[in-house]
Amino acid sequence: MKQKTPGLTLEPFDQDTFQRVWRRVMPDQDLSPIQPTVPAFSPDSPGTPETPTPPVSPCPPQTSPPACLCPDSESYAPCLEQLMEDTCALSRAYQNTARRCGGRTARLLSSLLPSLGQDHRRLCAAYFLITGERYTPASQAVPLSGAAPWQLRSLFLLEQQRAAKLSDYAAGTSGDPCLRELFRELEHAARLRAGRIRALLEQL
């Protein structure tokens, strides 16, 4: 059984020193009974060959983002013009109905008017960004007749039609994600107003 000698430390193998001493001992190396063996490199040994760095793959080709409220979307300008006309006409119908009905109906319709005003401003801004022009709607108010419940029913149907139109516009707007999102948000606002009118009718 082999035992380690206390305090004995092994010096690292020096190939140059070994060969220099061995040549003095054995001048004719062809007759040498042994040949020096070079120890394997360890990761920390000096002179360890570097691991080749893998080639860096080229960057993937960049694709331009879809157009967003820019002249590329000018084909949607007629849709925006129609929506601005409808918004102004619906807003006037709300105002006329509120004046005629008064009371709780007037308070509800007045509370919904700011939402229509915001719709109009957002449509105007989108139209200006796309076309570089301002559009002034010329629509008149939608005439509503009858007692308060019938006028509220007419407004409810108008909001339902508006939501359906906006849903179709959003589905057909593939080249401008910002415009598509605007149509969806305006559709949501129309359905919320229709829901408020329905809730009022359920209380009358």
- Domain spans of the chain, in order of start: 71-135+144-203
Rounded distance, CA 113 to CA 193, Å? Answer: 10
Structural contact between residues 74 and 67, judged by C-beta atoms closer than 8 angstroms: no
- How far apart, in Å, do the first and last CA atoms of the chain sit? 107
Using H for helix, E for strand and C for coil, what is the string for 159-196? HHHHHHHHHHHHHHCCCCHHHHHHHHHHHHHHHHHHHH
- Read off the pLDDT of each residue in 76-99 and give the average, rounded to a whole number: 94
If one compares 23 and 38, the residue with the highest pLDDT of the two is 23
Q: What is the pLDDT of residue 204?
A: 80
Lookup: tokens for 153: 């029913």
- pLDDT tier at 167, thresholds 50, 70, 90: very high
Q: What is the pLDDT of residue 137?
A: 87
What digits encode the pLDDT tens for the residues 107-138?
999 999 999 999 999 999 999 999 999 999 88
- pLDDT tier at 143, thresholds 50, 70, 90: confident
For the beta carbon of residue 98, count every other beta carbon within 10 angstroms.
20
Q: Which CATH superfamily groups domain 71-135+144-203?
A: Ferritin, core subunit, four-helix bundle (1.20.1260.10)
pLDDT over 50 at 199, yes or no: yes
If one compares 91 and 27, the residue with the highest pLDDT of the two is 91
- pLDDT tier at 148, thresholds 50, 70, 90: confident
Q: What is the pLDDT of residue 5?
A: 47
